[in-house]
Amino acid sequence: MENIFGQKSKLFLIFLSCFSLVLFTLCTLNSHVITQRTSPISSTSIHIHKHIQVANTHCQGTLYPELCVSTLSTFPDLHKKSIPEVISALVNVTTVEVRACAANATGLRRRLKKLDLIDRRALDDCLELFSDTVAELKIILSELGKNTSAEKNYLDFQTLLSAAMTNQYTCLDGFAYSKNNTRRFIQGRLKKISKHVSNSLAMLKKIKKKKEKGSRNNEVFDEYGSMKNSFPVWLKKKDRALLQAPANQTKFNLVVAKDGSGNFTTINEALSAAPNNSNTRFVIYIKGGAYYEYIEVERKKSMIMFVGDGIGKTLIKGNRSVVDGWTTFRSSTVAVVGNGFIAKGITFENYAGPSKHQAVALRSGSDFSAFYQCSFVGYQDTLYVHSLRQFYRECDIYGTVDFIFGNAAVVFQNSNLYARKPNDNQRNIYTAQGREDPNQNTGISILNCKVAAAADLIPVQSSFRTYLGRPWKQYSRTVFLLSNIGDLVEPAGWMEWNGTFALDTLYYGEYRNRGPGSNTTARVSWPGYRVINSSTEASQFTVANFIQGNQWLPATGIPFYSNLTAV
């Protein structure tokens, strides 16, 4: 037995030695292979690390840095790209995602057979808004692709990106009264798109810093995105004569008259006959009378001008409302999207009444749109200043709840804001501004206006509370400058939207107003509210600075002053 065990032990030792030798050889070979591969992997790792470092640098200051870095990290040769090139690449990614979202919404509308009316209309709104967004982003891509100075185009890029973001939130707002929660199918993608746009806006600030070292921005886009040296192409000098001369002494392209004395009896017929993408102003004279029509001046209908016989004489009337199944966006009696729209001497009205809630008289998403001696009559949500740059001069606006609202960059000058008698359970609020992002260049500026009670409110004024505004969105921004504020305005001045929402992120300001309602001693103490004491701060919201009006308003013939006062 001992010999047998001794022989087995020797065999086992020999086997163990051989196995160890084989294992050592394999480990040595493996180590050699690993050594051979170490150098390339380390180089790649260093490259990736540097790539991410560059992405992190570009993304500094953005509100959504993780998304920013993960997106920029996919761009090839990122370290070789300038800031405008990085923004262009990001805008291109955003455009692709908007188109994908539009395809998804189209398929969703087709697949969900049992969608109720409000859902179908909300999806239709989204599809229009996606189309607008793509058009706005394409202008940016076109200009950035020309290798021109991005610094001097900064304000135009900021305006277009601000509008692109607004479009996404407007789409989502359309589902506010949906019973099927259809919004859940698209909101993830839309919020991602909005974050991309937000990041582009934040990076744009780096271009602004360069611009501030150089010359003043003296150029603006025409309707195709091309740059002009002076005024936009749609605002010719002859527009001055169109606005200053009496209607019966002016030559028009088309005339609308209910009595048959013009080219057409309806405004929509005349608008359909107007050329698309015109390079010259197309003027439609609308003779006195009440026109019960729903008008949409589409994007392709640029350079349109409506001239009426005056406030209360030429009226365009409708009564769509949210209560009757329309989205707020689609409830407007008149909607203008085509750039450079001008209106003079017309009343835009939504007569749905205070019980029908949101019911828009006019919605404008037209860049460089101007309204002169017009009135806007409604109750809740009368005037929807949706997006882009707008100007209102010597206009009358009537309403109850949030009756001037939206997210345009807009200036009201020498106009009258009249609060009407609301329902018994309602309060009057003049404004509800919808800025979603601190880098958007949007807000409502009310300069040298009259803030008062309408005739139907005066006898019962003490029965209702009236406020200057409330924050519809997180970074709501509204200012009242050098205006006459009536005694109907509550001493607190401003009203919460919902608890403490936006009270520390909003920007609400009052500057040297007058009248019994202008006393600021009992105003709200929110972190975002301020009494503006500096003319420099107040001047941010003038025609010249806020909507670049010096570049496009002179050619319209509409009177205006660039700064805080006419002096």
Active site residues: 402
Rounded CA separation 330/340 (Å): 21
Decide: 297 and 337 in contact? Cβ < 8 Å.
yes
Decide: 381 and 353 in contact? Cβ < 8 Å.
no
Planar angle of CA 313, 389, 89, nearest 5 degrees: 145
Starting at the earlier edge strand, list the strands of the sheet with 295-297: 295-297, 334-336, 362-364, 383-385, 404-406, 428-433, 466-469
**Is residue 218 classed as helix, strand or coil in its secondary structure?**
coil
- Crossing angle (nearest 10°) for helices 83-111 and 187-213: 160
Question: Tokens 């919902």 sit at which residue?
Answer: 498
**Is residue 365 classed as helix, strand or coil in its secondary structure?**
coil
Rounded CA separation 131/65 (Å): 27
Rounded CA separation 157/260 (Å): 45
Round to the nearest angstrom and report the end-to-end CA distance of the chain: 123
> Which whole-number Å values give the CA distances from 353 to 65, 313, 324, 382, 400, in the listed order?
46, 21, 12, 11, 10
Rounded CA separation 81/314 (Å): 55
Rounded CA separation 432/358 (Å): 13
The residue among 379, 385, 312 whose CA lies nearest residue 346 is 312
Torsion on CA atoms 279, 268, 312, 328, rounded to nearest 10:
-100
> Which whole-number Å values give the CA distances from 259 to 99, 255, 288, in the listed order?
45, 11, 10
Radius of gyration of the chain (CA): 30
Residue 52, class by beta-carbon neighbours within 10 Å (0-12 exposed, 13-18 middle, 19+ buried)? middle
